[in-house]
């Protein structure tokens, strides 16, 4: 899983609670991403960050928040406002995104969140 | 949505056979990438093809790209049981984020 760690692997949360998923990379990548994957579906982008202290919403940002205080870390908070948070969450990183550049993504092993 | 669509959704073949899966997308792209995902794991990058390329090879993988039809295909030759996984295509039409397809689930029967 290429220098990106996610913790925990499995996470259980009670309804109404916020929870933070960790993502750390030691690849010296500038860009980091959070995706959500539901059964039988592809990946949907939640948030991405191209540089420290900056991030942008993806297609499904509602109910989620992120921070990017350090280059190596991009934690995702699933808030109580997210109506259906049970899913598999994947973090990824890539070299600085420039137009027409090669931007292969390296993925972490994922965190499976279950809301009880 | 700019998300791609893979076809077929599921594919089951015998070991040694070739596996072909297709990806269609909606907008112009800079490049198209294929990823593999084993069950319950993260994705692993397989191959990238630029918009000005038509074909690319990597080991047992062959990727083609037809930008006029907005489609790509991934061919895995001489498949092995270890190739069993889901395969996704991803595009970056705007150069700043990726759009993944829904995936093809490949089962290779020993």
pLDDT at A98: 63
The closest alpha carbon to B61, from B49, B45, B48, B74, belongs to B74
Residue A104 has its nearest CB partner, among B42, B45, B101, at B45
pLDDT tens track for B47-58: 999 989 999 999
B31 pLDDT above the threshold of 90: no
pLDDT at A1: 47
- Give the closest-approach CA distance of B95 to chain A in angstroms: 5
CB distance from B93 to chain A under 8 Å? no
Question: B47-53: long-range contacts at Cβ-Cβ below 8 A with a sequence spacing of 24 or more?
Answer: B47/B74, B48/A102, B48/A104
Residues with Cβ within 8 Å of A50's Cβ and at least 6 positions away in sequence, in order, are: A30, A31, A56, A96, A97, B96
Q: Say whether A35 and B42 touch across the interface (CB within 8 A).
A: no
pLDDT at A41: 81
Q: What proportion of chain B, given as a percentage, has pLDDT over 90? A: 74
| Helix, strand, coil tally for chain A in percent (to 5) | 0, 50, 50
Contacts of A103 in chain B (CB under 8 A): 31, 92
pLDDT tens track for B38-77: 998 999 999 999 989 999 999 999 999 999 999 999 999 9
What's the CA gap between B105 and B9, in Å, rounded?
6
Higher pLDDT among residues A103 and B51, named by residue: B51
pLDDT at A102: 60
The closest alpha carbon to B51, from B99, B4, B91, belongs to B91
- Any idea how long chain A is? 116
Rg of chain A taking only CA atoms, in angstroms: 13
Mean pLDDT computed over every residue of chain A: 91
> A13 near A114, Cβ under 8 Å?
yes
> A20 near A76, Cβ under 8 Å?
yes
- Give the closest-approach CA distance of A79 to chain B in angstroms: 23
Query: CA-nearest residue of chain B to A4?
Result: B42
Residue B33 has its nearest CB partner, among A45, A50, A104, at A104
Residue with tokens 């295909």: B73
CB distance from B97 to chain A under 8 Å? yes
- At B29, the pLDDT band (50, 70, 90 cuts) reads confident
- At B95, the pLDDT band (50, 70, 90 cuts) reads low
- At A4, the pLDDT band (50, 70, 90 cuts) reads very high
């Amino acid at each position: 899983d290429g220098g990106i760690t996610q913790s925990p692997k499995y996470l259980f949360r009670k309804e109404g609670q916020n929870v933070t998923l960790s993502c750390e990379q030691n690849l010296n990548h500038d860009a980091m991403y959070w995706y959500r994957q539901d059964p039988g579906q592809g990946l949907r982008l939640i948030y991405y960050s191209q540089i420290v202290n900056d991030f942008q919403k993806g297609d499904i940002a509602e109910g989620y928040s992120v921070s990017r205080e350090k280059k190596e870390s991009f934690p995702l908070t699933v808030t109580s406002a997210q109506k259906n948070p049970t899913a598999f969450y994947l973090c990824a990183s890539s070299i600085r995104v420039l137009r027409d550049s090669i931007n292969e993504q390296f993925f972490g092993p994922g965190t499976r969140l279950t809301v009880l | 949505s700019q998300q791609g669509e893979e076809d077929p959704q599921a594919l089951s073949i015998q070991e040694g056979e070739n596996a072909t899966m297709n990806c269609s997308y909606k907008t112009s792209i800079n490049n198209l990438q294929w990823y593999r995902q084993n069950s319950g794991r993260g994705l692993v990058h397989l191959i990238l093809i630029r918009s000005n390329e038509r074909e690319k090879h990597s080991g047992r993988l062959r990727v083609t790209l037809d930008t006029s039809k907005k489609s790509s295909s991934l061919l895995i030759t001489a498949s092995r049981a270890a190739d069993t996984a889901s395969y996704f295509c991803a595009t970056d039409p705007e150069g700043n984020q990726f759009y993944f397809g829904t995936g093809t689930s490949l089962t290779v029967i020993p």
